[in-house]
Structure 1
Amino acid sequence: MGQAQVQQGSNNFGNTTVSHGQAALGNFNDSVIRQANNNATSPVISSNKGTKKTEEHRREAYTVAWICALPREQAALVLDDVHEKLQSKPHETTYILGRIDVHNVVVACLPTMGTTAAARCVARLEDGFKSLRFILLVGIGGGVPTKTDIRLGDVIVSAPTKKYGGVLQYDYGTKFQTEHLEIRPSALGRPSELLVTAIAAMNTRYTQSSDGKTIGEVLHHYTTMLGEKFPQMQSVRRPRRDQLFAASYRHLDDDLACDKCNCDAVNVVNRPLRSDAYPRIHAGLIASGNEVMRDAIERDRMAHETGVLCFEMEAAGLQTSLGWLVVRGVCDYCDSHKNKDWQDYAAAVATAYAKELLKVVPGSELEPEHPDTISAMSNLAVTLSDQGKTEEAASMQQQVLEMRQRILGPERPNPISAMKDH
């Protein structure tokens, strides 16, 4: 979850609706799952007369784990198909099984928030589904607008830096502009290279899109679709108010929203209007801890020290040897003015981004060094360079070089050039 302050059992989306072979994963119950199964069309999992797969065989068909921390995050996910439930193993989490594009996905919603719950969930997923290739942690988080123009409704995707693998851990306790946080590297390694390269391929797809659509436009339209297909999901529509207060200005009354407790608008940071209301995607470092970050002073200090773009509460618990990626929709600014208005929209755009990403990951491609992906990354590096983003372009070119070396081996000197040198 990111920085949400909600009751764990609550779900603003209400009961789940299933339509045309798709299911929104809200408060699931057996009748809803049975209805979804009647519409399922997946050739891999759906039951056929005369064909009975063993439980273990069925479990082996699932290659992607999708973890949410809140019911509202799970409810934002619409699967292409919902599959029959498996028999639960002792102490196993309750899962929802289904398909997104060509991938069979196991969806888990954590029983509580925090890194400990995430670690337990990952361990049980790895034990119960031996064919998992990677884990997606998808939901909401607090954005850090200190050095980057991050707005509510934007999406943050974990990406490694020189010092950190994509996630850092901070300790402990909710901070209200008092003491400093302690920062340490997460035990989690670097994000899945397969997914990192898929991100590059997806960026290229939308950069070169013939219809001119941006990825942000696609994500925004996903939220519109949810509201149209599922009447109980009207809360996913994009809110209008997006206010960033000066870091030194504290919220006046924790029990009231800013417009109800007379927070002084003089302290709102003046930011230029964007050309459209679509989300922007930011790749960078995500900070993870067991408590909510509500301290703008500490937020800014960590941003200057580490370059962190987002705070959330589960990623440091992803202690796994599997590939992984964290995707967070920005629902607040990690300050005392945080509220719940943007949580549903933020959950929906993060979900939409992860779904779009899975459409780029080949179902049968087990290695990340796919030629098409390398070509896409090279093209993206050129585009970044043309846009003046020299550091990002250099980083992308370095990744391309490392992949080519893994495939072809170390670069050998040209024998003709070597002869000329002597």
Structure 2
Amino acid sequence: MKYLIEKYNRQDSLILISSYPEKNTRYSEKVCAVGGFTKNITDNLKDHKIIFTTKLGYKKDQIYEEKNSLIYRLFKRNDLNSFIKLFLAIKKFTNVKKVLIQFEFSSFGDIYTTVLFPILLLSLKLLGKKVYFVFHQVIFDLNNLTEYLGWEKNDWRLPYFNFFLKLFYQTNVVLSEKTIVLEEEFKQRLLKISAQPNKIIVIPHGVDTKLKIINQKLAKNKLKIENKPTVLYFGYLTWYKGADLMIEIAKANKNINFIIAGGPSFTQRNKSHYQKYLKKFSNLPKNLKITGFVKERQIPLYFSVSDLIILPYRSMISSSGPLSLAFSFEKPMILSNKLKSYLKSKDFNKNLKNIGLNEKYMFKDFEKNKRINLNKVIISKLIQFSRSMKAIRDYKKISNQYLNTLQ
């Protein structure tokens, strides 16, 4: 271990604190989606990286190398002592001055451990580190997420948690060198509570252009899927993503195959209210299939087999990973009207206008209108849009934006 610390303790190294996938994988079942995001970023950064991440169930800490990255698994979710261990480990890298934190709620634990992040930032600042903080979620009001949280609509905790959220974001913006968000909408939200607009920048969610597109007929044969139009929902079974809406959507479109390519939420699976939510999926229509967690090697198959990707989200709290994957496979998509704030992102809006596609064909209210339109002209334009976004948000280009920010 001493040799590895000395090897990576360099001025040109970068410390990252993030979820991170299992060894030699990119999209892992044991971590949240930020893990794959971080690996796609770090693989395109040439300098040495020290990545502090979660243990993945192992009792002992692990330290190993992947390419030019040192992976240090020492963090246990919901463990207060892990913050002390993390700080002491970072302290050993005296020559490394820059720290990049990829933050998503629940990835390091529940709310009671999350409150320690501002203390961690302050401690790192006192060590002389420059901290760059990436918010993968920006939300100040939990009133529209009570079902996701398992709370009553007028729960007494709501005003206190909403106050805490604003204070949490404000504090982290003040303590960080730069605060990074993934869409313009999230920057505008932060600007409502921050007096430091120059510290908040947008670097879009990247697109993995290395994923292989497979012939649709071949993909259907491999997955043994009936030769009918196929619509895909990709991601965890969660309320805010509208996974349960897929049941009624499938019932309203009996001539279409529907696939939910995902399983129980990594961070919620053991919570009682979530177990109750999962019971909604016990009686499915014949044209709807749930796959469970999709392994990395099968991701290309499920996207390649699909004629349309839908995101029936009930709330926009983060930039969608499944949308990024839809771009990877150049797939047409329809988004919930709750995601219309994507239009505030310059690249998204400009691309839509360049293609000449009216936004009404991309966004819809899935709770009111469950019919799926596979009009060939509209689908063709949506494919154009997706292909263009793939080029614009290529992880290589996005990683360069991180490099420029970290200068």
Give me the TM-score of the superposition, normalised by structure 1: 0.28
Higher Cα Rg, which structure: 1
Q: Name whichever structure is richer in helix by fraction.
A: 2
The answer to which structure, 1 or 2, has the higher relative contact order (CA under 8 A, 6+ apart) is 1
How high is the TM-score relative to the length of structure 2?
0.29
